Amino acid sequence: MYSDRNPVPTTLRSAEAGIWQPPNNPPEEGVPIMDGAVTNCTASSYARARPRLCSAGLPLSAASTPPPHMLHTDSMILTSGMCAALMAMVFFAMRRIPGMAPGGLYWWGLSNAQFAVASALLVSQGALGLALGIGLSSTLFIAGMAALVIGCREFFGLPRYTRLVGLTALLATLGLLYFTFVDNQSLMRISLVGGFATIVLLDVARLCLPGARERIMRFPALVLGAVALAGAALHALRATQAGWMFAGGAPVFDPALLMHVVRLYNAFAMTALAVGFLMLAHVRLRASLERQITHDALTGALSRTGFMDACDAILKRADRLGRPVCLAFIDLDHFKTINDVYGHFGGDRVLEHFAASTTRSIGNEHAFGRLGGEEFALLYHNMALEDARLHSYRLRTDIERHGCPSDDHWIMYTVSIGLVERPPGESLSALLQRADAALYSAKAAGRNAVSVGRDNGADALVDLGATAH
Ligand SMILES: Nc1nc2c(ncn2[C@@H]2O[C@H](COP(=O)(O)OP(=O)(O)OP(=O)(O)O)[C@@H](O)[C@H]2O)c(=O)[nH]1
């Protein structure tokens, strides 16, 4: 039935591919949609070809209604545009959560808003004409892609290169406008937009995939990387083929089919990328909230809650493996006086200095936390009493000798430490009480001291510093 003089109508060819294109919504001007005689079908030639649907045995009513098993590209683009609009609202709303503002959310919101408008323009191209339908929607698509990659760079804490990305997007847009209004060349438009999308998606994949190394980011990072890589491959293929055809080469893949696949990909990817970014933002928000609960904001040491949780885990492990555990209760001496002399800010510097010095002096397997004010605790895991006493002694003497650097002077301060070893099976609260009692002894003995508490409740004061009084 079909020949070079009477080629297969687009609807039927697309139907073979499982993709339905409504006959009264012609493909982009000048895009070759058929092999054989009609190699450069325009809207008008498409309109001329339309009656052949009927002569091909397909009634017009059937041709204008998508068969139920096929995909309707315009509906998909419109649906994904609506999803993009919703996602934009979600990103802008999330941005208001404290601490989330510099996480790329503004750019992702902007990008989704641009995709939403671009989708609406794209599906209305029949009614809006070339300028708004193709020109503006492609411009918005380019701008959305630029915002997407800037958001990614900001999220991962890298330089945003806003000017470079913006300049590249501007050049692509100028080329697009030239090949729309000055020299109407759809193949060059496809090349430009596809080339720009390829670069952006490759960069997004390059930025996201390393995030998969972090356990909590693995899933969204892999999803984003895979979607971006697939998109980069598709856009690169279409852009290369369009450039090749512009240079006079014959198409390797069916251009109409490729166009539909890319459009379907874009419709799917807009939502997939937005959901992926949302998952990344959620992971970041969760980690930040967890850190706020488990860590002290001023010193970076574990908070009381974080310390208790870490102690529970360490004690369970120690019981299971039969390992020794010691607990040191540490209090900064005369801290009220430090505040009075150096101000609250000076006192804060001392707290930060002590936490940093202690953290530096212990490994990751021990737990160190700020229990409140100027009180800290250190749980030594897999360390017998003598080693823990030596560490406590060194910590006390280092603090006493070096003090805390401040603007133009040193704030000298000391610490008192109560140390106990845990007999197997002792509860955390009992251990804490004994360490507190040992600390009380160190304070009572004049401060700047390490007091070791014994199992039977007696304290053995083992070391007093030079400045103790
Ligand atoms: N700068 C600063 N001061 C704090 C902070 N939290 C608690 N403080 C102060 O720490 C001081 C603790 O004073 P005290 O409990 O009397 O203890 P002290 O002066 O260290 O005396 P001793 O423990 O007996 O040596 C109080 O003045 C609190 O205001 C903080 O986060 N920053």
pLDDT in tens, the chain (469 residues): 333 334 434 333 333 333 334 444 444 433 333 322 233 334 444 444 444 444 444 444 444 454 554 567 788 888 889 999 999 999 999 888 877 766 789 999 999 999 999 999 988 887 887 777 788 888 999 999 999 999 999 998 899 899 999 999 999 999 998 998 889 898 999 999 999 999 999 999 999 999 888 888 889 999 999 999 999 999 999 999 999 999 999 999 999 889 888 888 888 888 889 899 889 888 888 888 888 899 999 999 999 999 999 999 999 999 999 999 999 999 999 999 999 999 999 999 999 999 999 999 987 789 999 999 999 999 999 999 999 999 999 999 999 999 999 877 889 999 999 999 999 889 999 999 999 999 999 999 889 999 998 766 555 666 665 554 4
Domain count, the chain: 3
295 inside domain = no
For ligand 1, mutation pick of 304, 339, 342, 348 (most atoms within 8 Å of CB):
339
Residue 422 in domain:
yes
Which helix (DSSP H) or strand (DSSP E) does residue 88 occupy? helix 73-94
24 Ramachandran zone, left/alpha/beta (phi>0; psi -120 to 50): alpha
Nearest to 123 by CA among 262, 25, 233: 25
Specify whether 215 is located in the same domain as 361: no
Q: Is residue 196 part of a domain?
A: yes
Q: Is residue 4 part of a domain?
A: no
Pairwise CA distance, residues 279 & 277, whole Å: 5
Question: What pLDDT is recorded for position 222?
Answer: 93
CATH of the domain at 198: 1.20.1070
In order of 297, 304, 458, the CA distances from 375 in angstroms are 15, 10, 22
CA distance 197 to 191: 10
Residues 104 and 32 grouped into a single domain: no
Write down the ipTM of this complex: 0.95
Closest residue to atom 4 of ligand 1, CA basis: 373
Residues 203, 345 within the same domain: no
pLDDT of residue 380: 95
List all residues whose CB is within 6 A of at least one atom of ligand 1.
298, 331-336, 339, 344, 347-348, 351, 373-374, 443, 447
448 inside domain: yes
SS3 content of the chain, % helix, strand, coil (to 5): 65, 10, 25
Is 166 within a domain?
A: yes
Ligand 1 centroid–CA 347 distance in Å is 8
Residues in the chain: 469
Taking CA atoms, 436 is separated from 131, 259, 410, in Å, by: 77, 73, 29
Task: Kindly state whether residues 27 and 94 are assigned to the same domain.
Answer: no
- 420: CA distance to ligand 1 center in Å? 24
Look at residues 319, 334, 102, 198 and name the one whose alpha carbon lies nearest to residue 190: 198
Residue 329, domain extent? 304-464
Q: Shortest CA distance to 452 belongs to which of 427, 432, 435?
A: 435
Q: What is the CATH number of the domain that holds 443?
A: 3.30.70.270
Mutating to test ligand 1, I would choose from 299, 304, 336 the residue with most ligand atoms within 8 A of its C-beta, which is 336
As a whole number of angstroms, the distance between CA 234 and CA 198 comes to 8
For the stretch 86-107, pLDDT in tens is 999 999 998 888 777 667 899 9
Nearest to 349 by CA among 368, 335, 359, 334: 335
Question: Which residue is listed with tokens 């596809």?
Answer: 194
d(CA 24, CA 188) in angstroms, rounded, equals 25
Contacts of 368 (CB under 8 A, 6+ apart): 301, 302, 307, 355, 358, 359, 362, 376, 377, 378, 379
